[in-house]
Amino acid sequence: MAEEEDLADMPRVVGVLAALLERVTERNDAAAAELELAVAGAPAASAFRATTKPDITVRAYMARIARFAGCSPACYVVAYIYLDRLLRRRRRACAFSVDSYSVHRLLITAVLAAVKFMDDICYNNAYFAKVGGVSLPEMNYLEVDFLFGVGFDLNVSLETFGHYCAVLQSEMLCLELEPPPSPSPAPAARLHCFLSEDDTSSSGSTQHQLAA
């Protein structure tokens, strides 16, 4: 696939994070479809939720960001941490998840926040808006909403960084050992639920967040 070829030249963390988000997106899409059949009602409103599904895949979108954003590999780990913090906080207030309607805006905004915090030199919001395929006013709004969503908690300790690196390394090994997909979907065998590290046994939500 073209997007897989694009990711081949990128830091491995880019491909691993793309695969993780893609898997989470597929599971949450399936869960949302089941909920729509059981309960009538519109999804929770969010600035990150698009009105239609973007045509570009998560892998191709991730490859585009990695190619044009010019940020350090550590930024993608920090972006993953920020996404986890956002979703953990938002989950308490409303049904908010990473799905096909939200993953792209969440991803570009998380990377933008991470690169500004981590790298000494970075592109401005207008550039990131072009990379992400959104308007500059929307990019600015998403950034502000994201920062409030994480409670402006942008600092990442070395321990936390290492913790999430270990998760991504585990994902990388799983991807390398993972057999080709079977025609019928198999139940999830592994869950990296950093989003619910204080609530690993919760059954109140049917949707995975950053559980891969």
Domain 1-175 annotated CATH 3.10.580.10 = no
pTM for this model (two decimals) = 0.78
Band the pLDDT of 189: cuts 50, 70, 90: very low
Q: What residues have CB less than 8 Å from 9, skipping those under 6 apart?
A: none
- Rounded Cα distance between 191 and 199, Å, is 13
| Distance in angstroms (rounded) separating the CA atoms of residues 67 and 65 | 5
Tens-digit pLDDT profile for residues 134-156: 999 999 999 999 999 999 999 99
The more confident residue out of 205 and 101 is 101
Tell me the C-alpha distance between 147 and 115, whole Å: 13
Given this model, what pLDDT does residue 204 score?
Answer: 40
Mean pLDDT along residues 78-92: 88
Torsion over CA of 102, 205, 209 and 199, rounded to 10 degrees? 150
Domain ranges (residues) in the chain:
1-175
Q: Judge contact between 211 and 195, C-beta under 8 A.
A: yes
Which residue, among 10, 142, 12, has the nearest Cα to 70 in the 3D structure?
10
Long-range CB pairs of 122-130, under 8 A, 24+ apart, other chains included:
122/70, 122/71, 123/69, 123/70, 128/69
For 17, residues 6+ apart whose C-beta sits below 8 A from its C-beta are: 62, 76, 79, 80, 168
What angle (nearest 5°) sits at the alpha carbon of residue 210, between those of residues 126 and 11? 60
Residue 87 pLDDT exceeds 70? yes
